[in-house]
């Protein structure tokens, strides 16, 4: 089991604050999360699942519909100058019951990252 710790950060100002989870650990590409990869993010109570969807997608429109029905979102992995970055903002984080400042634990394996509130 692989474990990584992180926090829910804050983006915006004043009344426009949004929660943000930014993942840029060195192992991201080893787990299949490479630049341009499609990722389905699904919320559950107190946790989020980042599921790699870069292969064997039957229909994008069906994937989008089922993801939104589950209050999730689709994101792509980005590439900055020095690192690979996967970033999630806003409602999907709140749909999982997570808030700005929460400490999180990520348990990861190839194609799947499970992020949940830690017991700190």
Token pair in block for residue 16: 């426009």
Which contiguous run of DSSP H or E holds residue 37?
none
Helix (H) or strand (E) segment spanning residue 72: none
Domain count, the chain: 1
What tens digit of pLDDT does each residue of 22-45 get? 999 999 999 999 999 999 999 999
CATH code at 81?
3.40.1550
φ/ψ of residue 79, rounded to 5: -130, 120
What number of other Cβ atoms are within 10 A of residue 115's Cβ?
A: 26
Condensed to tens digits (0 to 9), the pLDDT of residues 65-110 reads 999 999 999 999 998 878 899 999 989 999 999 999 999 999 999 9
Residue 106: predicted pLDDT: 96
Q: Which domain holds residue 96?
A: 2-117
Alpha carbon distances (Å) from 66 to 41, 47, 55, 60, 116: 11, 18, 17, 10, 22
């Amino acid at each position: 089991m692989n474990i990584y710790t992180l926090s829910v950060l804050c983006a915006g100002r004043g009344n426009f604050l949004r929660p943000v989870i930014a993942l840029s650990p060195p192992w991201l590409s080893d787990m299949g999360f490479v630049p341009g990869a499609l990722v389905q993010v699904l919320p559950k109570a107190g946790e989020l699942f980042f599921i790699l969807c870069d292969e064997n997608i039957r229909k994008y429109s069906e994937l989008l519909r089922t993801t939104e029905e589950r209050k999730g979102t689709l994101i792509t992995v980005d590439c900055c100058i020095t690192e690979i970055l996967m970033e999630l903002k806003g409602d999907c984080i709140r749909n999982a019951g997570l808030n700005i400042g929460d400490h999180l634990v990520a348990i990861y394996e190839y194609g799947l990252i499970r992020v949940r509130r830690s017991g700190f």
